């Protein structure tokens, strides 16, 4: 699961160069493992159902607070022990206070409920919780992008709430483009294997980084990957590693395996 986390400290990192309002509100893209985290969803309608299902699929423990619940949400709770439905009024500040205090992430799925969203923001900040406002992209702390996958490459498209439909179209176009870039997938596979093996045999991190950069920039390696010659590209990696560190990567593969 990924969240785009609002980076409030960005302004402080550029003390001598004032940022424009647009840049100052930049959200930093971070992929977050939410497995086991406690997620609170305020609102049991269609948006609440989508958010609850998405976090459940990522392994989170989800609680949904609402006066009423979508039938699909009730069915989802029946099938999942990690989803709890709590009947309650989102305008009850005491209820929100208790619920938010016990969660890691709070999500408002109420739509245009600015007053309640303001209360959620206030309580979440008080207790240092991450908050997502599904109906208010300008005030939300975290934004959930539209995720895409191409092989082992994962990415997300985020439009600051301007249009989820355009974001989905962009996701699909990016995925199709990446699917066509065979060399990227070959390079990713081989470089990942190289890094894993070097780490397994105890090569220091600074040397691993230098070798990684050297291989990535090597024109012969890139040419072989572009032509689809995976075995040739791997042999080129072995040559560079041998020359750079004296390590016989082929021998290491016999012990640790390539992938």
Same domain, 19 and 131: yes
Looking at residues 18-38, what average pLDDT do you find? 75
Give the other-Cβ count within 10 Å of 202's Cβ: 6
Asked whether the beta carbons of 27 and 56 are under 8 A apart, the reply is no
Q: Of 180, 205, 230, which marks where a domain is finished?
A: 180
Average of per-residue pLDDT values in the chain = 90
**What φ, ψ does residue 206 adopt, rounded to 5°?**
-65, -35
**CATH number for position 49:** 3.40.50.720
Same domain, 155 and 189: no
The closest alpha carbon to 29, from 147, 127, 136, belongs to 147
pLDDT of the residue at 2: 43
Same domain, 108 and 159: no
Q: Of 117, 144, 171, which marks where a domain is finished?
A: 144
Same domain, 32 and 97: yes
Interstrand relation of 61-66 and 83-87 (parallel, antiparallel or unpaired) = parallel
pLDDT of the residue at 25: 62
**Is residue 170's pLDDT more than 70?**
yes
**Is residue 19's pLDDT more than 70?**
no
Count the domains in the chain.
3
Conformational region of residue 94, where left means phi above 0, alpha means psi within -120 to 50, and beta covers everything else = alpha
Same domain, 58 and 113: yes
The Cα 90–Cα 67 span in angstroms is 8
- What are the tens digits of pLDDT across the range 103-146? 999 999 998 899 999 999 999 999 999 999 998 988 999 999 99
Q: Of 144, 172, 201, which marks where a domain is finished?
A: 144
Contacts of 87 (CB under 8 A, 6+ apart): 65, 66, 67
Same domain, 224 and 136: no
Helix or strand (DSSP H, E) at 133? strand 130-133
Same domain, 51 and 101: yes
pLDDT of the residue at 13: 40
Same domain, 172 and 188: no
Interstrand relation of 27-31 and 2-6 (parallel, antiparallel or unpaired) = antiparallel
pLDDT of the residue at 252: 85
Same domain, 136 and 190: no
The Cα 127–Cα 104 span in angstroms is 10
Same domain, 112 and 38: yes
Same domain, 38 and 78: yes
The Cα 183–Cα 222 span in angstroms is 8
- What are the tens digits of pLDDT across the range 87-104? 999 999 999 999 999 999
Same domain, 176 and 209: no
Q: Which domain holds residue 229?
A: 182-256
The closest alpha carbon to 142, from 17, 2, 1, 6, belongs to 6
Least confident of 18-27, 42-51, 243-252: 18-27
- What are the tens digits of pLDDT across the range 177-192? 999 999 999 999 999 9
């Amino acid at each position: 699961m990924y969240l785009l986390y609002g980076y409030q400290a960005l302004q402080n990192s550029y003390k001598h160069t004032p940022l424009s309002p647009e840049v100052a509100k930049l959200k930093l893209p971070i992929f977050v493992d939410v497995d086991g985290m406690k997620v609170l969803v305020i609102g049991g309608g269609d948006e609440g159902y989508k958010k609850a299902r998405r976090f459940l699929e990522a392994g989170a423990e989800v609680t949904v607070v609402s006066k009423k619940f979508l039938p699909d949400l009730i069915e989802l709770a029946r099938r999942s022990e990690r989803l709890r439905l709590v009947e309650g009024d989102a305008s009850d500040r005491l209820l929100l206070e208790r619920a938010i205090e016990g969660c890691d992430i709070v999500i408002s799925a109420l739509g245009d409920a600015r007053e309640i969203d303001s209360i959620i923001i206030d309580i979440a900040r008080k207790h240092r919780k991450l908050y997502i406002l599904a109906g208010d992209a300008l005030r939300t702390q975290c934004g959930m992008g539209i995720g895409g996958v191409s092989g082992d490459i994962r990415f997300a498209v985020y439009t600051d709430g301007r249009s989820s439909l355009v974001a989905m179209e962009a996701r699909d176009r990016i995925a199709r483009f990446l699917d066509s870039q065979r060399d990227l997938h070959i390079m990713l596979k081989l470089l990942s294997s190289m890094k894993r093996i070097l780490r397994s045999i105890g090569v220091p991190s600074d040397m691993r980084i230098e070798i990684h950069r050297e291989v990535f920039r090597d024109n012969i390696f890139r040419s072989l990957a572009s032509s689809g010659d995976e075995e040739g590209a791997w042999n080129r990696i072995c040559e560079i590693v041998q020359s750079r560190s004296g390590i016989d990567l082929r021998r290491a593969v016999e012990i640790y395996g390539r992938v």
